[in-house]
Amino acid sequence: MHGMEGKVVLITGASSGIGEATARLLAARGAKVMLGARRVERLEALTAQICEEGGTAEYLALDVTDCDQMEAFVQTAVEKLGRVDVIVNNAGVMPLSNLEERKIDEWNRMIDVNIRGVLHGIAAGLPVMRSQGGGQFINVASIGAYEVTPTASVYCATKYAVRAISEGLRLETEREIRVTLISPGVTESELADTISDEHARAAMREYRRIALPSQAIAEAIAYAIAQPESVDVNEMVVRPAKASS
């Protein structure tokens, strides 16, 4: 199935930011989208809007850290939309702080959402894709999957992990399943809102002055999906070029 028309795409973290922008863009291009996130009222509104504009969308409350919920998310997509062509593992959190702050709960939260969440998506989706004879995982990492910065040690560690898991999945599935790692530079989203450390939050506000619109990452995701089945876009790093005047 070339292009986007009729493809069933599951998106985690779909209530805002990159997830929401991706849902809107793919639905507008003819994909059937299944949206998951914890904030159900936002999912409901987004789904209604997409359907009003002639798109096809379903939603389900989803906490990616819960493997059973992820299984239910994938199975609901199969029941309502018939198959699973693409899973966009997009849900992520970024509570930055220096290690000496010892914010252990925040470290564990990042590990749970950013690593386990992606693994749960793979675990739930892989058997379905295998039985269909194909599919695609798109894992949203970060430039933090390639470089480490102060306050971001644990965050970057989780994104390095997503990069490693994506590479392993690609090698294990021997081209039957396409695997794409998308690493956004600074992008407009609510990600920085999870920073509780005031020093790190102030630094991040300055760092994020030049940011990509989330639409830019949605376009990158759409590009990877729209390629012919024989083309596997392995990795994309998408950064802002310069401040728009």
- DSSP, res 208: T
Environment class of residue 67 by beta-carbon count within 10 Å: exposed (0-12), middle (13-18) or buried (19+)?
A: middle
Partner residues linked to 45 by β-bridges? none
Closest CA to 211 of 189, 195, 182, 193: 189
Environment class of residue 24 by beta-carbon count within 10 Å: exposed (0-12), middle (13-18) or buried (19+)?
A: buried
Other C-beta atoms closer than 10 Å to the C-beta of 144 total 24
* Catalytic center residues: 155
Environment class of residue 179 by beta-carbon count within 10 Å: exposed (0-12), middle (13-18) or buried (19+)?
A: buried
* 198 contact partners, CB below 8 Å, separation of at least 6: none
User: Between the CA of residue 143 and those of 40, 188, 200, what are the distances in Å?
Assistant: 29, 14, 18
Partner residues linked to 60 by β-bridges? 36
